[in-house]
Chains A and B, each alone.
Chain A
Amino acid sequence: MSARRRWIVTIVAGAALALLLPHLGVPTFFVSLLTQTWIIAIAAMSLDLLIGFVGLVNFSQAALFGVGAYAVAIGATRFHITGFAGGLVCGMIAAVVTAALFGLVALRAEGPGFIIITIALNQIVWGLAYQWVSVSGGDNGITGITRPPLGPFDLSSNTAYYYVCLAAFALTLAILMTVVRSPYGLVLKGVRDTPRRMRALGYNVWLYRYSALLLSSVFAGTAGVLFAWYNQFVGPVDLSLDQSTQFLIVTILGGIGTIYGQLFGALVVIFLSNELSSITQRWMLVLGVIYFAIVLYAPGGLVVLVPRLWDRLRGKRVAVVPAEHP
């Protein structure tokens, strides 16, 4: 099979499986976990745009995600913004505005400086959520968020909501894959690899980074909104540094600079953490060892590891294509 045909077959089979899964008699809990996987994958893909294509390791992705979630929660419980479109727009705007402010501060630095500033920014937003009780509900978070209907469809059932998140995932994947292959995406890669040369060629490096951050925040905010509706609860943990780290782990495990790889990262992280915690009390330790092993033996991420294992299973020995590193 040619590489291209293999790709098409994999995508069609994967899509068909994803569409049929809720009707194959799998337990509803698995449908819930998969719904969560689509949402986390959206957030991780938005982060991959920054890490893999602009070279910005953003530790405040959870803040963008969480601000989207809080916006829809506060909108629904305080201002009666209960529609699907209204909630979504609310969350996106909140995330973009936050990213616009973050960018002004964080993009003054590069490399480790950028990382430190984004960690601090994330902590500021977390602190607000934790302590500004009259707005955010503090440590208790906000409950009483109901899933709005999407046009004629009622989303209160797990299955209906599964399809909404699947569609959002597919749409995000398509948009981001198009963006990174567009001339704009090529400039981003240029900015990532040789910012000085790009500057010399007359590109406004800062503006490209800033615009990528804003674009990324649209999807991070969307994921936040979907997550708030999924849990019907928002709390400070959703925009904690732990959450940022989780996105980072998903992104790295999946394969940096691939966009689609984040789906595998999200699958592994969501399912492993949920399954392991029901087997052993030391699940965090086991999880850590697994992450460590993947990073050590498959530095390109699961997108490199999975096909390699597949070929080995079929007894084929193929040259390993080195992963593309930022």
Chain B
Amino acid sequence: MRIIRSTCAFAVSLGVLCMLLPTPSRSASNAPIKVALLAATSGSAAAAGHDMVAGWTLYWSEHGNAVAGHPIVTTVYDTNSNAGHALDQARRAVEQDGAQMIVGPYLANEGLAVAPYGIEHRIPMFFPTVSADDLSQRQANSFIIKVAGWTSSQTTHVAGEWAYEQGYRRVMTLANSYVFGYENAGGFAQTFTRRGGKIVNQIWAPLGTTDYTPYISQVQAANPDALFVEMVGADAVHFLQQWSQLGLKNKIPLIANETTTDQSNIRTLDPALVEGITSFGHFAEGRDAPATRSFIEKYGKAEGVLPSYMATSFYTAAQWIGQALETVHGDVSDPGMLLRAVRDIKLSDSPFGPMVLDQYGAPIDNVYIRRVVATTGEAAKYAKTWNVVIKTYPHVSQFWTWKPSDYLKQPVYSPTFQGYTK
């Protein structure tokens, strides 16, 4: 009896205490800057969530968790890989905890759910991994910036051109049947067919497929010059294993998107399964440049593995936002000023390479043709294989060679619009 009574009394007093806690004022000269980091630390994208937090914290711990005398207070909110929950967490961050900016989440659908809320509440939103085309195209908004981020079809536009130049004429695509897959495949199909190539067939596999054999046999039957493939997370791992086991690895060339051979996937696979695969990305952990090399060494020391593009995006985003906060002397009271400062930053070099933002809030940066090879030197301590750069396409825009106004007249890529007439 007494236990129950005292428990209840404790609970009630705790509740009252929570309500009485003072809200800190924002005016003080060294007031903390409150950052809400939305990351999936549970649910299907939990591994990515871990990397995001790791990248972000690595930068800030190097820089004393402060900018211009203002401490940076980062709170991680778990989105549970669920768009609805991401929105709840954004509400909590802004309305209850007084967050002054939102960084993350990870998934495109989470970002799209959070975006209208942030715009309505005039909260700057920085999306280092949310790559949905429309967030920097048809639904672009001054409060949304893909800081150190990317646009799904940005890298695959390059892939289409490159595939044609390699002499491939009949190509098949295999992608997951959700928006990221449609945009990856669409970018490839549009530039490839514009040059004169032919898309033999496009296969959409549900996200979360564990057995890719039926899809791979379709590819085998059609025997295309090459296969364009988009896979994420566990799907990538399953696909790469089965592709090799069914004996196609050295028969039909793969043109993989960025996520398929991301370090987070290839580190779990036998080198024999992945070595030699060509892919396209805005990040290559094996890029031979001081900014990339020093980052992967720091990250390796801290985490014991080579960074994924997610970790790198959040590290670079922290660097980018940190520089912008310097220029406004840590004053985040005016979101417009902060957003302008972020837009004006130009990174002459970063782990990704040089990066600037276009007027739609998407980065213009390098796209790399990458190849998976065995690691060498310092990196060999942390991984068996990595992506090295074969060729660099500098200064690639999300609109590739189109004029933005022309490009935006076409609809966003979907199963019914892949940039060519069938």
Contact = CB atoms under 8 A, between A and B. Distances in A.
Contact of A274 (B8, B88, B112, B134): B88
A252 B182 CA distance: 40
A141 B112 contact: yes
Contacts of B139: 143
Nearest to A36: B88
Contact of A29 (B82, B91, B108, B182): B91
B83 interface: yes
A277 B76 CA distance: 10
Given A130-B178, A313-B8, A140 B92 contact: no
Contacts of B96: 27-30
A133 interface: yes
Interface stretch (B113-121, B221-229, B261-269, B401-409): B113-121
**Candidate in B89, B109, B177 with the most chain A CB atoms within 10 angstroms:** B109
A274 B48 CA distance: 22
Given A134-B414, A312-B4, A278 B77 contact: yes
A72 B416 CA distance: 24
B305 to A, nearest CB: 20
B87 A133 contact: no
Given A281-B78, A315-B1, A140 B109 contact: yes
Contacts of B5: 313
Given A133-B415, A134-B416, A143-B112, A231 B87 contact: yes
B166 to A, nearest CB: 31
A235 B1 contact: no
Interface string B3-21: 0110010000000000100
A157 B116 CA distance: 15
A189 B396 CA distance: 67
Contacts of A82: none
B179 interface: yes
A245 to B, nearest CB: 13
B179 A133 contact: yes
Nearest to B96: A29
B362 interface: no
Interface string A282-326: 011000000000000000000000000100110100000000000
A309 B4 contact: yes
B41 interface: yes
B151 to A, nearest CB: 14
A143 B115 contact: yes
A32 B179 contact: no
Given A27-B96, A138-B179, A233 B112 contact: yes
B351 to A, nearest CB: 27
A309 B116 CA distance: 43
Given A29-B95, A144-B116, A237 B178 contact: no
A154 interface: no
A235 B95 contact: no
Contacts of B177: 130-131
A53 to B, nearest CB: 29
A139 B95 CA distance: 27
Contacts of A309: 4, 8
A26 interface: yes
A141 B78 contact: no
A213 B117 CA distance: 35
Nearest to B134: A140
B84 A237 contact: yes
Interface string B67-83: 00000000001101011
Nearest to A25: B19
Contacts of B4: 309, 312-313
A99 B95 CA distance: 37
Nearest to A242: B82
B1 A312 contact: yes
A232 interface: yes
Q: Is the interface of A mostly helix, strand, loop or mixed?
A: helix
Nearest to B46: A281
A238 interface: yes
Contact of B117 (A232, A278, A312): A232
Contact of A237 (B83, B180, B416): B83
B113 A235 contact: yes
B115 to A, nearest CB: 7
Interface in A165-211: none
A26 B19 contact: yes
Interface in B87-144: 87-89, 91-92, 95-96, 108-109, 112-113, 115-117, 120, 132, 134, 139
Contacts of B178: 130, 138-139
A233 B95 contact: no
Contacts of B416: 133-134
Contact of B89 (A141, A235, A277, A281): A277
Given A26-B19, A312-B1, A313-B4, A133 B117 contact: no
Nearest to A274: B88
A140 B132 contact: yes
A28 B179 CA distance: 33
B201 interface: no
B327 interface: no
B84 A231 contact: yes
A233 B88 contact: no
Given A133-B415, A312-B1, A313-B5, A277 B80 contact: yes
Interface string A120-143: 000000000011011000111101
Contacts of A29: 91-92, 95-96
Which 10 A-B residue pairs are closest in the complex by CB-CB distance? A29-B96, A29-B95, A139-B178, A28-B95, A133-B414, A235-B83, A233-B113, A140-B179, A139-B179, A140-B112
18 contacts: A27-B95, A30-B96, A32-B91, A130-B177, A138-B179, A139-B108, A140-B132, A143-B116, A144-B116, A231-B87, A233-B83, A233-B116, A235-B84, A235-B112, A277-B77, A277-B80, A283-B42, A313-B5
Interface of A: 26-30, 32-33, 36, 130-131, 133-134, 138-141, 143-144, 231-233, 235-238, 242, 274, 277-278, 281, 283-284, 309, 312-313, 315
Interface of B: 1, 4-5, 8, 19, 41-42, 77-78, 80, 82-85, 87-89, 91-92, 95-96, 108-109, 112-113, 115-117, 120, 132, 134, 139, 177-180, 182, 414-416
Given A27-B19, A138-B414, A313-B4, 18 more contacts: A28-B96, A29-B95, A29-B96, A130-B177, A134-B414, A139-B180, A143-B113, A231-B84, A231-B87, A232-B117, A235-B109, A235-B112, A242-B82, A274-B92, A278-B92, A281-B78, A313-B5, A315-B1
